Structure 1
């Protein structure tokens, strides 16, 4: 089994806000991240797939195709968007980095070819904060 990682970057705004809570409770729990005027991040996204190399190409999966898939299914949906309002796969969810990683997984996994599996989504919200999701 070989693991292959593609790194992408996108910028997006969001706020952490539970609509079932008061503004005071949201501010208490989420602090500045509950700002009604949003805030943004420069996200770094690591997509790791796994599989056995094809005997004819030596590839687990053609990296050009992987890049196109990530751009189409994820980056074009997220880059320079408001995660709370503009991203269909985040509608109705708290826009935490954890939920965003799960959403990205769900957008990519069904579109990989047979024999290629999604192994990990690693999403950096800041240089010091990231989440990993393994499905």
Structure 2
């Protein structure tokens, strides 16, 4: 049977700051992110299976991405925990803000790598992550492809 790719789009609002950056993004700011998750697999051929004809139920894919990415990053502020931004993070946390401390510079490029690892760990064995596209603005995005990372 043919391999088929399916894609689901997600959206979330996240703030961040890029420590040491030489432009405006060194300041705390936010984006309306759009994440496009594409998986590849063979549609289920067992007619007695309730998921017959599907590569993966869009609802199952939604559950994975929502739990590991959207619910975690939405309306959070992300800082690199290995920078002095950790002091700002502690101040915001003390004021009951949702802050994520990550071990990377929170650029779209690094976030999409993080997201790929999280999603790959949750997919069923017969489904592979094909690609991710993370748009931080209408005209700027980072992409991750499995074929580039084998």
**TM-score w.r.t. length of structure 1:** 0.85
Matched, 1:61 2:27: no
CA deviation vs aligned residue, 1:76-129 (integer Å, no higher than 9, x gap): 1100001215335xx121011000000101111011001100000100010000
Aligned to 2:86: none
Structure with the greater alpha carbon radius of gyration? 2
Q: Does 1:130 align with 2:125?
A: no
1:81 paired with 2:72, answer no
2:114 is the counterpart of 1:103: yes
> Unaligned stretches of 5+ in structure 2?
47-51, 80-88, 90-98
One of 117, 121, 124 as aligned partner of 1:113 = 124
Cα-Cα RMSD? 1.2
Could you tell me which residue of structure 2 aligns to residue 15 of structure 1? Answer: 17
Correspondence 1:47 to 2:37: yes
Kindly tell me the number of residue pairs found equivalent between the two proteins: 121
| Match in the other structure for 1:23 | none
CA distance in 2 between counterparts of 1:134 and 1:87 reads 25
Whole-Å Cα distance in 2 between the matches of residues 83 and 108 of structure 1? Answer: 19
Moved more, 5-14 or 63-72: 63-72
The one of the two structures with greater contact order (alpha-carbon pairs below 8 A, sep at least 6) is: 1
Alignment of 1:31-46 (within 5 A): 31-35=23-27, 38-46=28-36
Show structure 1 runs of 4+ deviating over 4 A: none
